[in-house]
Amino acid sequence: MSINSEEPPQEYIVKDSSFGSMESSDPSLGSIPIIDINIFSLSSSHDPKEVENEFEKLRSALCSEGCFQAIGHGIPSSLLDKLREVAKQFFALPAEEKHKYSRAAHEVEGYGQDRVVSEKQILDWSSRLSLMVFPEDQRRLNFWPENPSDFKDILHEYVVKLKGVMDILFKAMEKSLNLVEGSFSSQFGDNSLIKARFNFYPPCSRPDMVLGVKAHSDRSGTTVLLQDDEVGGLQIFKDDKWINVPVIPHALVVNLGDQMQIMSNGIFKSPLHRVLTNTDKLRISVATFNEPEPDKEIGPVEQLIDEERPRLYRNVKNFAAFNYECFQKGKVALEEAKI
């Protein structure tokens, strides 16, 4: 359909405002904060005032947008370029080769498109390859592509380095709210999940009617996105406006998921976001989701509950599955989790 510029089928058409207006945003309406997370590392030798300012910048970003662009993360630019390149190479393979890694009908892991859970579901104009990366003993290597030959090694190296970045971010988020270290990270458990999703957005003849990904908030604790190095499309919803997330080739887009909004008792925000389509350029991205162990119960940190800010959410477990079902049925998981 993309190659032939065919009219998209009805199941891809956004028919109403359930998932947000299709109107494109004005880039002048706002911007996404850029934060140098190297300042938060223990080895940082920055001026204390500069460190304090960056912590305040982080807190402000997570309390408003729930999203920022991370620079100074320490992951080599060459590795990020390699990760994007193996993603492009995989999606460029013949269909029969990619379908070797197809997911089962009712599963998420593997290659394919939307898992259909509702007759009213609007489909995304994208293909995906979803993989469990950590814990290592839960990897289903039959879904990990053998072509490109260095795919496995590059993804493993990237996520190992990303785990170190996430550790720094958790500690920085806790410190920004004056919490005891481990207040958030301990709720994830010793075997927290890290899932990777490679996204492929082909050109679309009707970007005014079709979304690459419809508006949603993430089910995760934190999500880290490596964007396409040239083609934009990601937008964050803030102050009733869609804000473009600009392409910064070697930055990582960090956005909080619903589970972090619950843990912070609503202080941090899990942003609504979407991906636009365009008529002439394909786009790829790599999203990495950090989630608690499925059987690990999470809830608001006690230190963030008081008379002025009472508990907003009940304790929940296996939130990821619950969130997905709500999303596809047009319900808001965070509203369903409220007391």
User: What pLDDT digit, counting tens, does each position of 174-229 carry?
Assistant: 999 999 999 999 999 999 999 999 999 999 999 999 999 999 889 999 999 999 99
Q: pTM for this one?
A: 0.93
Q: Please state the separation of Cα 88 from the chain's center in Å.
A: 19
User: What pLDDT digit, counting tens, does each position of 248-291 carry?
Assistant: 999 999 999 999 999 999 999 999 999 999 999 999 999 999 99
pLDDT given for residue 326 in this prediction: 77
Taking alpha carbons only, the member of 238, 270, 272, 258 closest to residue 337 is: 258
Q: What is the mean pLDDT of residues 227-242?
A: 94
Residues paired with residue 223 on neighbouring β-strands, in sequence order:
255, 289
Q: Is residue 32's pLDDT more than 50?
A: yes
Specify the 3-state DSSP secondary structure of 200.
strand
Share of the chain above pLDDT 90, in %: 76
Which residue blocks in the chain are alpha helix, DSSP H? 48-64, 77-91, 95-98, 151-176, 258-263, 319-328, 333-336
Specify the 3-state DSSP secondary structure of 65.
coil
Mean pLDDT value across the chain = 91
User: What pLDDT digit, counting tens, does each position of 138-157 carry?
Assistant: 999 999 999 999 999 999 99
pLDDT given for residue 47 in this prediction: 87
Q: What is the mean pLDDT of residues 318-331?
A: 76
pLDDT band at 19 (very low <50, low <70, confident <90, very high): very low
pLDDT band at 2 (very low <50, low <70, confident <90, very high): confident
User: What pLDDT digit, counting tens, does each position of 51-95 carry?
Assistant: 999 999 999 999 999 999 999 999 999 999 999 999 999 999 999
More confident residue, 291 or 120: 291
pLDDT band at 121 (very low <50, low <70, confident <90, very high): confident
Q: Is residue 125's pLDDT more than 90?
A: yes
Residues paired with residue 288 on neighbouring β-strands, in sequence order:
196, 224
In sequence order, which residues have a C-beta less than 8 Å from that of residue 146 and are 6 or more positions away?
none
